[in-house]
Amino acid sequence: MSETVFQRYLSLVDDQGAFLAACERPLPLVVWANPLAMDPAVVEAALFSAFPDAEPVSWRPHTWRLPPEAKVGNWPMHVVGGLYVQEEAAAFAGDVVDAQPGERILDLCAAPGGKTAQMAIAMGDRGTIVANDRRIGRLASLRRTVGRLGLTSVTVTCHDGIRFPQETLFDRVLVDAPCTCEGTARKSGRRSRNPDERYRNTVVQIQKALLRRALSVTKPGGRVVYSTCTFAPEENEYVLDAIDPSLASIEPIAPMGLTVAPGLCEWRGRYLRPDIRHAARVWPHQNDTGGFFVACLRRL
Amino acid sequence: MIREGSSLRASVAFEPYPDQEIVPNWCFFWLGLDRSVFENSVFVHRPGSPAIWVASNQVHLIDTPLPETVGLLVMRKPPPKGKPTSVFLQRFADGATKNVYTLDAEDAERFLRRDPVQIVPVDDARSYCVVRTADFVLGCGRVNGNTLVSEVPRSWMSS
C-alpha cells in the first residue's frame, strides 16, 4: 500500500502526534500591512476592531494572524492594497531573500506576486525587481498584485524561467519553485491523498533546471533563495545536492524568530552534501503554519 | 499601435518618456499635488504606445526578455485627455488638495462597487478627481452633476 502524504515524513518530525494534529487543523489567515499604501497603524486598528482575537506575528512586523474563517477580500483596505493575505511560512521565504534598496532582484516564478511584493516593500520600492512567470494565464494575478500594492520597482516578464536570458545579472534571485505542494495540505484539504510520483519525477527536473538557471544569472557573491511548499526531500534537499559545490555554497539563514528544522543530509540511505544542513524546514506543528522549505545559496 | 492595460505579449522595450514633466504638471494643476511626490520616480513608455507608466528612478530597464509592464500605468493617453488610473492615484495622490472627495465607510464600499455616490461638487467638475476615505485613497472618479461616478476597474470587488 502506498504511503499517504503525512506517513511518508513521520520519521523526520520531532513530534509525530503534534505534526498530524496540526495538519488536521484549519490554517490561520495571516495578513500584513503595506506601508506604501497606508499607515500600518490604521490597518492594525481596523483588524483589531473587526477581529478582537487577532494576534501580531511575533517574528514579523506589521503582520497579524486572524481566525481561519476571517474574510478580508472585499474590505476597501484590502482592495486598494493596504494589506495582503499571505501564508506565514511563505512570508518567511520572501524575507530570507533580504532584498536591499537599489538592488536588482529576480523573482523567477513570481505569480501571484506575494513574495515579489514583500521584496519590493523591503527595498522601499527603490531598485529593480523583475517578476517573471512562464504562464500567461498567471500574469493577470501578478499584474494585479503589482498594481494593487502600488509597486513602481517591479517589471513583469513572461518567460520560461529555465531559459531566462543571461544578459542581466542580478544581486539576488528567488526561485519559489513549482512543486507537489504537500505543505499546503492544511489549506487545500489534501490530507489523505497519495503523492503523485510521476508528477514529482517531472517537477524535480524542472526544479533543478530553474535553480541552475537562477545561479547562472546571479552575480558572483550574490544570493539565491530556493524555496518550495512541499515536504519531499526529492524536491528540496536532492535539488540542492544536484548543484556543483564549486558553483554555490549553502549558507546559514539568520534566525528570524520562526522555529525551523535543519535541512536533511541523509534520506532513505542517500547521503547529501553537508552544507544542506543550513537549509530550513518549516513544519506545520512548530509554528502553526503550512509547510515550507527554504535554502539560501551564495553564488561563488 | 500597442494597446496598453490588458494582457498582451510585449513586442517593444520600455524607454524613458520624452517629457518627464507632463504628468507632474497635470497632477499639480488639476489635483494640487506637489511635484516632489515624484522625486524618486521616472516616467516611461513603449515607443508607439500613448500610455505613460511610472517607475522607481532606480529601475534598470531591461529589453531581454521584453517586459509586459514596468511599474504602474499612469494614463493610457497623455494629458490633457488622459485619465489617471486608480492604482496611480492610490500610490501618489495621498497629498492631493484639489478635486478630492472624501467618503465615509458606506460610500467607500459603494464607490468600489462602482455604484453612484451622491456628492456636492467641489473645485473643477471637468477634472477627474481623487476619491478617498479619511485614511487612504480609493481611486479615480469623475463628477456628473451631483453624482460621483467610480472609475475603478470592475474586477476589483468580487460579487
Set of cell numbers at residue A66: 486572524
* Predicted structure pTM score: 0.94
Return the sign of the alpha-carbon dihedral for residues B138, A99, B6, B88.
positive
Convert the pLDDT of each residue in B99-139 to its tens digit: 999 999 999 999 999 999 999 988 887 889 999 999 999 99
- Which pLDDT value is given to residue A2? 40
Tell me the chain A residues in contact with residue B133 when contact means C-beta distances shorter than 8 Å.
Answer: 76
Q: What angle do CA A289, A257, A28 make, to 5 degrees?
A: 20
Residues 33-52 in A contacting B (C-alpha not used; CB under 8 Å) = 36-39, 42
pLDDT less than 50: residues of chain A: 1-2, 192
Q: What are phi and psi of A66, to 5 degrees?
A: -115, 165
Residues of chain A in contact with residue B137, where contact means CB-CB under 8 angstroms, are 80
pLDDT value of residue B122 = 87
Condensed to tens digits (0 to 9), the pLDDT of residues A83-115 reads: 999 999 999 999 999 999 999 999 999 999 999
pLDDT in the model for residue A194: 60
Nearest CA-CA distance, residue A60 and chain B, Å: 24
Record: contact B90-A80, CB cut-off 8 A: yes
ipTM of the complex: 0.93
Task: Please list the ranges in chain B whose pLDDT falls under 50.
Answer: 2-3, 6-8
Q: A7, exposed or middle or buried, with CB in 10 Å at 0-12, 13-18, 19+?
A: middle
Task: Give me the pLDDT at residue B152, please.
Answer: 95
CB contact under 8 A, A127 and B58: yes
Domains and CATH numbers, chain B: 1-82 (no CATH), 96-159 (2.30.130.60)
Put simply, whether A153 touches B (Cβ < 8 Å) is yes
How confident is the model at residue A1, as a pLDDT? 35
Is A128 an 8 Å CB contact of chain B?
A: yes
At A3 the pLDDT is 53
Task: List active site positions of A.
Answer: 229
* Helical (H) or strand (E) element with A296: strand A292-299
Facing residue for B60 by CB, picked from A38, A128, A158: A128
Which residue on chain B is closest to A80 by alpha carbon?
B138
pLDDT for residue B10? 64
Q: Do A76 and B133 touch (CB under 8 A)?
A: yes
Q: How far is B133 from chain A (nearest CA, A)?
A: 9
Rounded Cα gap, residues A263 and A297, in angstroms: 13
